[in-house]
C-alpha cells in the first residue's frame, strides 16, 4: 500500500463520521466546477457597485483557474484513488485526479476574494475544501496540495491585475 493510500485510509478512519462526510459532500457540491465561488463573486459584483469590475475580474480569474486545473488534469492523466481500503463517497465528473480542481478554484478564490473583502480567507477556506477531497476518497494528498499551491499562484496573478499587494 502506498503512503498516500495509507493517509487516505487513515483520514477516512478518523474523520469518517456521517456529519463530516455530509459536510464534505456539501463542500464538494459547492466547489464543483468552481460554481460556488463563481456565485460568490457574482454576488459581490451585484452588491459592491463601486468595485463591480474588480469582482468580475476576480470571478473570471477563479473560472480561469478551474480551466487551468482541467487542462493540467488532461495532460497529467493521473487516475483517482482506487484501493479497497479507500471508500469513494461522492461521484466525480472524471476519473482524473491531479490536481484537485476543487483545491485550485478554492485557493484562487480565497486569494482574490481576500483582496476584495479585506479579510484573509485562505486559512479559512482552503483547508476544509482540501480535507473534504480526502474524506470523500476522490483525491490523493498530493492532488490537493498541488491544487492548493497552483490555485494560490493563479489567484496571486489575478490579484496583481487588481492592484492587490500581498496580504
> Which CATH number applies to 3-161?
1.10.606.20
The count of C-alpha atoms lying within 13 angstroms of the C-alpha of 102, restricted to the half-sphere facing its C-beta, is 31
Distance CA 43, CA 58 (A): 12
Average pLDDT over residues 146-158: 97
pLDDT digits (tens, 9 = 90+) for 41-59: 999 999 999 999 999 999 9
Asked whether the beta carbons of 126 and 106 are under 8 A apart, the reply is yes
CA distances (Å), origin 108, targets 101, 128, 155: 10, 14, 4
> Mean of the pLDDT values across residues 159-165?
74
pLDDT tens across 107-150, in order? 999 999 999 999 999 999 999 999 999 999 999 999 999 999 99
pTM, full prediction: 0.94
User: Using CA atoms, how far apart are residues 20 and 128, in angstroms rounded to an integer?
Assistant: 10
Residue 148 neighbours by CB under 8 Å, 6+ apart:
100, 103, 104, 106, 107, 126, 130
- Which H or E element spans position 105? helix 101-117
The per-residue pLDDT for range 1-36, each reduced to its tens digit, is 699 999 999 999 999 999 999 999 999 999 999 999
Q: Taking the domains of the chain in order of start, what are their residue ranges?
A: 3-161
Amino acid at each position: 500500500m502506498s503512503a498516500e493510500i495509507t493517509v487516505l485510509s487513515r483520514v477516512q478512519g478518523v474523520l469518517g463520521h456521517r456529519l463530516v462526510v455530509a459536510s464534505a459532500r456539501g463542500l464538494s457540491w459547492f466547489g464543483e466546477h468552481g460554481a460556488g465561488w463563481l456565485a460568490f463573486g457574482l454576488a459581490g459584483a451585484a452588491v459592491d457597485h463601486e468595485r463591480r469590475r474588480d469582482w468580475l475580474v476576480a470571478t473570471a480569474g477563479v473560472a480561469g483557474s478551474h480551466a487551468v486545473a482541467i487542462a493540467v488534469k488532461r495532460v497529467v492523466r493521473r487516475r483517482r484513488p482506487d484501493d479497497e481500503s479507500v471508500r469513494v463517497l461522492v461521484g466525480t465528473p472524471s476519473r482524473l485526479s491531479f490536481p484537485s480542481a476543487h483545491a485550485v478554484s478554492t485557493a484562487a478564490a480565497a486569494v482574490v476574494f481576500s483582496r476584495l473583502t479585506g479579510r484573509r480567507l485562505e486559512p479559512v477556506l482552503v483547508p476544509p475544501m482540501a480535507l473534504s477531497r480526502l474524506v470523500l476518497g476522490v483525491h490523493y494528498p498530493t492532488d490537493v496540495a498541488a491544487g492548493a499551491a497552483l490555485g494560490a499562484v493563479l489567484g496571486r496573478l489575478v490579484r496583481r491585475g487588481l492592484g492587490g499587494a500581498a496580504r
